[in-house]
Homo-oligomer: A and B are copies of this chain.
Amino acid sequence: MVKSKKNAVEIKVAYIGGGSRSWAQHIMADLALAGTLTGEIVLYDIDYAAARKNVTRGRQVFGHKQSKAVFKVRASKSLSDALKGADFVFLSIQPGPLQMFANDLDIPAEFGILQSVGDSTGPGGISRALRCAPLYEDFAHKIMRYCPAAWVINYTNPMTLCTSILYDAEPEIKAFGCCHEVFGTQGMLATLVKDHWGMQERPPRHEIKTDVSGVNHFTFVTKATWQGHDLYQLLKLRAAEKGFWADRTADSLERVANAKWFGSHKLVAFDFWRRFGVLGGAGDRHLAEFVPWYLTSEANAHRWGFVLTPSSRRLAHYTMKRPTIGDKLIGSGEEGVLQMEALLGLRELDTNVNLPNRGQVAGLPSGAVVETNAQFRRNSLNPVVAAPLPAGVLILVQRVAAVQQMTLEAGRKRSLKLAFEAVLNDPLCNIDTDKAWKMWRKLMKANAAMLPGYNWR
């Protein structure tokens, strides 16, 4: 990298996927607002037209009067071309047509397995991971061929598995997985702070210091402070409020009626705190999928204040909030650009991230991808050792990590039979083994077009 005329650092960014969602546009808006970097962004998507659309939008972003950065934006039909010499590679794909995502939800549901999201764990998450395996192995090999020094930032779910596949295929890759679920918990804690001290506005999220541990979407906030104040005291006060633990079915039904699929009361996160002493770190819809206690029925989910996203919602066009390109360019609130800046040596950043376990989470296997805090520094990314998880939660996470290891192996070996062993071990699979087997046969058959080379041995 060399400095550009305007003191910005010159880089090449390859953005893989992103056609169907607005993540690519968010990154571009953040780059434009930061103004610290310059260079080239190459967009690659199997749907070339979608990539082209992002080019148009990107040019608008960097041409905006508020933009402080200069970036050349182009689409490429060749993955190799997009990767060649890149300093940063973003991976943000949809593994297969949306119908397959719908299958991942609907087919298990037919057999009595409910999933609130279905892209991280459960039969749906395992199915999705198998579809990702051939794609991500290919990404890994091409990255090590065309841009081995690049930092690779994964946004695709299942986060843990996608990141694991990269390292499994190419152990020397410099990849990490990013997820904003913990931000939501930090936001909730910021609200507790505001309420407790009667502030006008809640403090900025980054003032909430959290110690994070677990695997993606099944993370725990083992410590939380604001200016040295222990926020666990505030959890206690909040949970003691009258009605806090009440049945939230009414709210949930209202959510369903208004198609507000993503909200929650954080009751599941708090329930972990009540039962095991640590606060859940992801949203309730995610947390609930990793244990057998909340998704026993739709009514039970509603009682806890969260709802099952229907597959029809998945099939409809995603309408994620896109960066305003009217009068004002608006940032995403995500950390991608901060991470790039830190890896380039322009700042220091400590945040949570998904990386192979080198010791940061005691009790989980070495090499398993885990989520903890890490130090982003100039060309280095070092995990910080997380506070130990209490035994009751550690068992749960160990089991999830073990299922993920089996899924990884099933993907590598293209074995649907081995994947079924993972399914049986999944916390959501509490049905008869015969029924489970039928479910799995049906799901794999429905998704077969994206499972090249897989077999039943």
Q: Which residues of A pack against B, CB within 8 Å?
A: 209, 211, 223, 225, 227-228, 271, 275-276, 292-294, 296, 300, 303, 345, 350, 358-362, 366, 373, 375, 377-380, 382-388, 390-392, 394-396, 398-399, 402-403, 405-406, 409, 418, 420-422, 424-425, 429-433, 436
Contacts and interface: CB of A to CB of B under 8 A. Distances in A.
Contacts of A275: 420-421, 424, 433
A227 B385 contact: no
A246 B339 CA distance: 46
Contact of A424 (B373, B392, B431): B392
Nearest to A388: B358
A418 B277 CA distance: 11
Contact of A430 (B209, B293, B409, B433): B293
A385 B392 CA distance: 25
A236 to B, nearest CB: 15
A228 B87 CA distance: 15
A395 to B, nearest CB: 4
Contacts of A395: 399, 402-403, 406, 425
Question: How many copies of the chain does the oligomer comprise?
Answer: 4
A402 B364 CA distance: 13
Contacts of A296: 430-432
A424 B293 contact: yes
A276 to B, nearest CB: 6
A392 B421 contact: yes
B276 A421 contact: yes
Nearest to A396: B425
A269 to B, nearest CB: 13
B431 A227 contact: no
A406 B392 contact: yes
Given A392-B406, A395-B425, A377 B209 contact: yes
Contacts of A350: 375
Contact of A293 (B294, B361, B362, B436): B436
A126 B420 CA distance: 30
A387 B379 CA distance: 14
Nearest to A409: B391
A363 to B, nearest CB: 9
Nearest to A424: B275
A433 B293 contact: yes
Nearest to A276: B421
Nearest to A230: B379
Given A359-B385, A395-B406, A225 B300 contact: no
Contacts of A436: 293
Contacts of A366: 362
A385 to B, nearest CB: 5
B293 A432 contact: yes
14 contacts: A211-B382, A223-B380, A227-B345, A228-B379, A271-B433, A275-B420, A293-B429, A300-B432, A359-B362, A375-B375, A385-B385, A391-B406, A392-B406, A395-B406
A383 B384 contact: yes
A376 to B, nearest CB: 12
Contacts of A209: 377-378, 380
Q: Which 10 A-B pairs have the closest CB atoms?
A: A359-B359, A392-B421, A292-B430, A395-B402, A228-B378, A383-B385, A430-B430, A359-B385, A358-B385, A228-B345
Contacts of A396: 425
Given A225-B379, A292-B429, A293-B424, 19 more contacts: A209-B377, A209-B378, A209-B380, A225-B378, A225-B380, A271-B433, A275-B433, A293-B431, A293-B432, A296-B430, A303-B432, A359-B385, A375-B384, A384-B384, A392-B422, A395-B399, A395-B403, A398-B398, A399-B399
Contacts of A433: 271, 275, 293-294
Contact of A382 (B227, B345, B385): B385
A19 to B, nearest CB: 34
A405 B209 CA distance: 33
A107 to B, nearest CB: 18
